[in-house]
Amino acid sequence: MRAIRVNATGGPEVLSIEDIPTPEPSEGQVLIDVEYAGVGFVDTLFRDGTFPLAVPFTPGIEVSGRVRSIGAGVAGFEPGDPVAAVLNDFGRGAVAGGYAESALASADLVIPLNSSIDSAIAAGSMVNGATAWIALHRLAGLTETDTVVVLGASGGIGSAAAHLALAAGATVIAVVGSVERGEELRAAGAKVALRAQLEQDLASIAPEGITVVIDPVGGVARQVAIDALAPLGRLVMVGTASGNDVQLSTDLIWHRSLQVSGISLGGIAHLHPSLVRQGALSALEVLANRPVIARLDQAAHVHAALATGRAPVKTVLSVTGP
């Protein structure tokens, strides 16, 4: 089968398309013939070695397609069934594998797709959607009375979080890098703040303070958002795309009556697969923006765009197309 491989970590140029053997599902696994493979920022961190995986490997942690075969002990799926799956199940040893004509998934991280769900949207929403839903509804305890700041709202996970919070009736402040990057979110009902003037914008838009922060970015923006949290406010960290951590005083958290939590989907998928499935299914009921579609052999170009910060909200690779 054709697959994108990383034989040595590095820049986008290390992604190469190769022919490799088609895997066979082990007990508890489903083999999926991939139609679309989602591309996310975390894939670039696997590729460049920031999050090291044993080489060689195939990137890609979310796919949609059809069941090819099932392993022993798997019930509820038959060959040909349309499905989507989360693949970053690292607690059980699975190592990505989505940028390929066929990919293995743990059966309890596979969801059936009905005819009303667009396969490309599903492939691009599994990881971001599940993460954002868990962050908002399980960790932040979102209600319609909340004012939610979403950092990096023009990125994949930020956009998902903004749309899910809007669907729940919350007030959403979407933080973006430019006015143009915020146009779609403004049209959807969000208020927009610019990253370069975040402190001033938050003071203007929500002078009484904010109650929830969803943060995939880190760095200066994280610190500004923390400073703007009202008492009993909740910060949920879902990534550090800026590469810059923030040191938090536990006494500050106590004195200001704040709640700080985090969610790494790959770290909990094997422990709470039903929660991941619930998050993905709930997100797919809301998320409807179709991603940009690229060819499998354009994976390096997509990774290069992600590195510049000017990539579309979400791109998926068409694996079965030309």
CATH 3.90.1150.10 fits 128-264, yes or no: no
Average pLDDT of span 278-284: 97
What is the model's pLDDT at position 312? 92
Instruction: State the pLDDT at residue 74.
Output: 97
279-301 average pLDDT score: 96
If pLDDT is split at 50, 70 and 90, which confidence band does 232 have?
very high
Pick the closest to residue 32 from 58, 68, 61, 78 (CA basis): 68
Report the distance separating Cα 84 and Cα 67, nearest Å: 9
pLDDT grade for 90, boundaries at 50, 70 and 90? confident
Mean pLDDT of all residues in 287-294: 94
Q: Please state the pTM of the whole predicted model.
A: 0.95
Instruction: Tell me the mean pLDDT in the region 102-129.
Output: 96
Q: Which residue intervals of the chain bear CATH 3.40.50.720? A: 128-264
* Mean predicted confidence (pLDDT) in 24-30: 96
pLDDT for residue 320: 85
Q: Does the pLDDT value for residue 322 go beyond 70? A: no
Examine the pLDDT at 195 and tell me if it is beyond 90: yes
**Helices 119-133 and 273-284: angle between axes, nearest 10 degrees:** 120
CA distance to 34, 38, 142, 279, per residue, from 169 (Å): 35, 28, 9, 18
Segment 286-291 mean pLDDT: 93
Q: Distances in Å between the alpha carbon of 188 and those of 164, 166, 287?
A: 11, 8, 12
User: What's the confidence (pLDDT) of residue 66?
Assistant: 98
Q: Give the residues across from 82 on adjacent strands.
A: 66
Phi and psi, residue 269, nearest 5°: -55, -40
pLDDT at 310 over 90: no
Average pLDDT estimate for 181-193: 96
- How large is the average pLDDT for residues 77-101? 91
CA distance 15 to 6: 5
Instruction: Pick from 61-70, 94-103, 240-249 the range whose average pLDDT is largest.
Output: 61-70
Cβ–Cβ under 8 Å, residues 213 and 193: no
Instruction: Please give the mean pLDDT across all residues of the chain.
Output: 95
Given this model, what pLDDT does residue 270 score? 93
| Res. 140 pLDDT band, cuts 50 70 90 | very high
| pLDDT(32) > 60 | yes
Peptide bond into 79 cis (omega under 30): no
> CA 152, CA 161: separation in Å to the nearest integer?
10
Mean local confidence (pLDDT), 294-309:
93
CATH label, 2-118+290-318, candidates 3.90.180.10, 3.40.605.10, 3.30.420.300, 3.40.50.300: 3.90.180.10
**What is the model's pLDDT at position 94?**
64
Q: What mean pLDDT do residues 74-78 have? A: 96
- Over residues 165-194, mean pLDDT: 96
Q: What is the pLDDT of residue 311?
A: 85
**Average pLDDT, stretch 97-123?**
96
pLDDT at 321: 64
In the chain, residues under CATH classification 3.90.180.10 are 2-118+290-318
Predicted confidence (pLDDT) at residue 14 exceeds the cutoff of 70: yes
